[in-house]
Amino acid sequence: MFVSPGDFAHRLSREAAQSVASNWWRFLLNGLVLIVAGVLIFSIDWSVRSLATFLGALFIFEGLTTALTAGIDKRVRQANVITGLLSVALGIAIIVWPAPGIVAVAIFLGAWLIVMGTITISGALAARRILPDWWLLLLLGLAEVPLGVLALADPGATLAAIVTVGGIWAVAVGVMRVVLSFEIKRLPKTVDEAFSEPVRNGAGGALKARPDRVAPSVS
């Protein structure tokens, strides 16, 4: 994610905005890969072994993308690296697990979706003063958590159920990330416009810049 929920400042420098905006092509690539992956999940007649390998590779890709995502400060950057490495470890565990059963795949997938959904929801609320369309991130997290719960709800989950959960997640998240990538790309321009927007200093006073407004705030 780009910001930390606990200590987000209400001012965003252009340097920080450029750091966040540098992630736009990663979000775009990630979204496109997820959309293609979702289509493949729905299109192929999977075995448990092949689906586990595919999902594991997808988790590894997600983890590498997250680990390389720049945040607004050093602490967020470190959190992204830790989250990414955990996703990579999960992907490797699914792939190398000896003869994974469908229950094991469901547990891995469900737990990962719930954790990532919770992180995304927190990040969305923290980013509401940075991204005008922050609610897309919120929807992303709100979609991941129930899908994770669905994957964990039935201990005797069928392969068809896992395919459904994985496919819906990949396509839905992929589309949202493609949309968000262009929003992130425009962030430095949003900051420039906010800094150059004049506001009167008191009744009939002189005009001055508004450095404290970087995006529409939501109370």
pLDDT tens digits, one per residue of 16-26: 778 778 888 88
Which residues are 200's β-sheet partners?
207
209 close to 198: Cβ distance less than 8 angstroms: yes
How far, in Å, CA of 194 to CA of 192, rounded? 5
> b/e for 180-204, b at 16 or more Cβ within 10 A?
bbebbbebbebbeebbeeeeeeeee
In a domain, 1, yes or no: no
- pLDDT above 90 covers a percentage of the chain that reads 16
In a domain, 219, yes or no: no
User: What is the domain range of residue 123?
Assistant: 14-209
pLDDT tens by residue, 146-198 = 888 888 886 556 788 888 888 998 998 899 889 888 888 888 887 777 666 55
Measured CA to CA in angstroms, residue 62 lies from 67, 69, 168 at distances of 9, 11, 16
In a domain, 218, yes or no: no
Q: Taking the CB of residue 137, how many other CB atoms lie within 10 A of it?
A: 25
Asked if residue 210 has pLDDT above 50, the reply is: no
* pLDDT score, position 209: 44
Confidence of residue 1 (pLDDT cuts 50, 70, 90): low
Asked if residue 128 has pLDDT above 70, the reply is: yes
Amino acid at 120: T
Q: How many domains does the chain divide into? A: 1
In a domain, 7, yes or no: no
165 close to 151: Cβ distance less than 8 angstroms: yes
In a domain, 121, yes or no: yes
How far, in Å, CA of 50 to CA of 61, rounded? 17
In a domain, 105, yes or no: yes
pTM of the entire predicted model: 0.75
In a domain, 214, yes or no: no
* pLDDT score, position 51: 87
In a domain, 22, yes or no: yes
